[in-house]
Amino acid sequence: MSSAKGVQLITYVDRLGRGNISGLRELLNEQLKDVFDGVHLLPFFYPIDGEDAGFDPIDHTMVDNRLGNWADIGALGANMAIMADMIVNHMSAQSPQFQDVLAKGEASEFWPLFLTRDKVFAPDQLNQIPNIYRPRPTPCFSDITLKNGDTVPFWTTFTSNQIDIDVTSGQGQAYLEKILSAFAQNNVDLIRLDAAGYAIKKPGTNCFMIEETFDFIEQLSQEAHRRNMQCLVEIHSYYKTQIDIAKRCDMVYDFALPPLVLHSLFTQNPTALAKWLAIAPRNCVTVLDTHDGIGIVDVGPEGDKPGLLSAAEIDALVEQIHINSNGQSREATGAAASNVDLYQVNCTYYDALGANDQAYLIARAIQFFSPGIPQVYYGGLFAAQNDMALLNQTNVGRDINRPYLSDSDINHALQKPVVKALIALIRLRNTLEALEGKFMVSATGQLITLEWVGSGCRAALEIDFSTLSAVINYSQQDAQHSVDVSVAGLAG
């Protein structure tokens, strides 16, 4: 894997600029030259425009030819780290394999590839189904009628077009091996294991991040390591569970960070943020925004166990997002829009902060000074606001934060002071030698300091939430520097 530790970009290929891989490579080599050390390419497999924006692949080993081909991926990865999604839990109902199952039933050679209710639960175990952990309000099974007239309850964790794979079967293992080989041959460095927490189902459990799931992730990671790749596990869960997961895998997301940063800015109280940063996993990827919503479950309580924020604090946080976005996030969240998770608020991060440039730059500074490798979503890079037109067109809640940005949109955004300042902040972060050293955090009242100390170098982010002011003080190569975290201070 690439040793790049600098800031990375998260983007769809088809929703940015020219909408293809070669165009993205040009963007990263020209207007965004030397800004990013790597890029997470959201699903580029065939097709990119299925029911779940590429997360329901018909062919996981085929680049959608509207974007380019594997050679284009390899070329992009020649001078920067590439992350690709490995969708381990499911595949499209439109895939040739599942279509063969529909036509031939149990006589299909692909019957072992897909998971049905009855492969997991015996008839006397069906009363356990309510114990299954559900990320969505829909049932976890879809009754699908085969050509012979039989109706089979297939396991569909997410949508009825995403049929769960039996990853324990020989067919399932061969399917995953084929994807790994395609990645390894085309300069992919890091694999994001999408929905890995749901991959193993077992009676008597909640079928989410059970012990056998850890074993599955470890085995898959070993196969990736043999091909010089590492795995990032994508799990939304209770914060102590996240800490435990981090001990058993290459990397995890710090999904607690986005809501805690918002809470600190909304309340002018960084106590919860400081508590988390003191104990958060160090082998993490940090984000504020992604192609999904702003997660809430990651800071909440679990049963009678307290969370990083209380239920009342979370309610206030969500309500403030709705207020800051002028109610737009409310239209895109929960029952108001389809295909949403129960634990996420759909809104751009910029609009969650009321399009306040200063608050937004401070939020990014916190992300960049927190332990881990930072990733910036393409919408966040360009300080995009909620795409209500796209939301109204698709009625998919997450589309509020999945805009299509043309070359003209990009060129316009690059002239915005807040975007210029953010890019300057990214460049600064990538040069700070101290960020390879020891991390410390302290908070008193409305003040917080995130400090790194290395060999002969130091870098500290100091924030006063009461005045919404922040400064970066750093020393390296025997020189002292001070930079205000503001539009004027960064890009003036």
Active site residues: 194, 234
CB 253 within 8 A of CB 221: no
10 Å CB burial of residue 250 (0-12, 13-18, 19+) is: buried
Q: Which of 235, 166, 237, 242 is nearest to 202 (CA)?
A: 166
CB-based contacts of 133: which residues, under 8 Å, 6+ apart? 198, 206, 207, 208
DSSP at 462: E
Helix (H, G, I), strand (E, B) or coil at 292: coil
CA angle 422–424–430, rounded 5-degree value: 105
Alpha-carbon distance 84 to 77, whole Å?
Answer: 11
SS3 readout for 51-103? CCCCCCCCEEEEECCCCCCHHHHHHHCCCCEEEEEEECCEEECCCHHHHHHHH
- Segments of 137-264 assigned E as strands: 141-145, 151-155, 162-164, 190-194, 230-233, 251-254
**Radius of gyration, alpha carbons of the chain:** 22
DSSP at 299: G
The backbone torsions φ and ψ at residue 480, rounded to the nearest 5 degrees and listed phi first, read -105, 140
Alpha-carbon distance 115 to 321, whole Å?
Answer: 39
CA 243 to chain centroid, in Å, comes to: 17
CB 176 within 8 A of CB 129: no
Across the beta sheet with 469-476, what order do the strands follow?
A: 438-444, 447-454, 457-464, 469-476, 479-484
Our separate counts of H helices and E strands in the chain read: 18, 21
Alpha-carbon distance 374 to 284, whole Å?
Answer: 9
CB 73 within 8 A of CB 21: yes
CA 306 to chain centroid, in Å, comes to: 25
